[in-house]
Structure 1
Amino acid sequence: MELDEMKMAWPALVQQLERQNALNEQLFHQGLADRLRRHLRPLVWRQSLQIVFGLAAMLWGISFWSTHASVWQNVVCGVAMQVLGTLALILSAHLLQMQQSIDYAAPVLEIQRHLVRMRAWRVKVEAPLIAVLGGVIWIPALLMGAQYEGDRFGLNLWQHVRPVVLVWMALSLGVGVGAVFLARYVVRWLGHGRWLENGLAGNAIVRAEEALAEMASFERE
């Protein structure tokens, strides 16, 4: 091939290489997007189940206090269940909205920042509140279930509950919630804070972060 012919062919070859590189990068990004969706899918399932649980608890609370409004203690139990169920629903719905708002076509750094916000929400807000919710919700559930049993015989539960039972519930509540935060403090004190945070963030977010780190490394190279 003559030199002039090579000079004429060179721009076309450069353009072809650029198109090939752009296509490869596009395919890589698409593969990354698919991986992220796959990694985050279990998170979506769990949050969806938690939304269902929260909705069920909320409706149960409303149904209970509206049919036992003559006894204020029953109203308190029903409202407590309604509030706790609503809290579980809101927490999960917010995280699910954060996941749904991810733009998988955005730059890797922007997606990483989005996952950082999701991790912070899970570790600093959702996980502690869910832990407290789990340590609290059994009390109104137990009392409501006992009142349903009393309804079969036309009995008001609160006329037969001994003070010692309420004291036991209060102590159990304090010990349960306190144990959660004590365990968190001990794990951090032992130097396993990152392990704890990864556990609270969830495997789905951790794996998505790892996939993004691989992509960032590829782009730097």
Structure 2
Amino acid sequence: MTAKKLTVVSAGLGQPSSTRLLADRLASATVAQLNAHGTDVEVDVIDLRDLAHDITNSLLTGFPSQKLDAAIAAVSTADGLIAVTPVFNAGYSGLFKSFADLFDPKMLRDLPVLVAATGGSERHSLVLDHGMRPLFTYLHAVVVPTGVYAASSDWGSGASSGQSALPDRISRAARELAALVAASDRSARPLDPFVLDPSFSPIGAFSAE
């Protein structure tokens, strides 16, 4: 059986990063769920902080670097996607949005996606439903019902209630994503988001429906 491909996008800016930590935990939980049902998984992790200059240059010139092209291809050819962003000013990060702006609007058609975010306060958790879910719905992806938000208190040693809730949310979201990934068929989606149209511009890089 061909291994499923799980792509993880982390928009964390720091090192170490709570955003990357959450992304890793979600990926591990999803892989464990798939392995438990006899499905092998290949995991590809994309740290957007390492692509920040490439993303900006691509938005300015319309042409991706080799590294950025590979990252977008990893998303477009995945069987499942985990997308995690820090929250700034009640919204997903500009780096995360800039990366998504490079996607063809139909590139993620029927792709199972788990959305997650990190922030300092629990009150920013609405970014999942008011920001990330509409973004991926517009991109024709299938967003799992459970989004995972981790506030600073979820990582603190004194926040026992938060610590008990976060693993539960991770586990539930991972089960939902794993079920969709197991049934996904990436052959039905476009594989090359940078096929050139007659204007010699990357298709969809700046388009809207």
Q: TM-score, normalised by structure 1?
A: 0.31
Specify the structure having the higher radius of gyration (Cα).
1
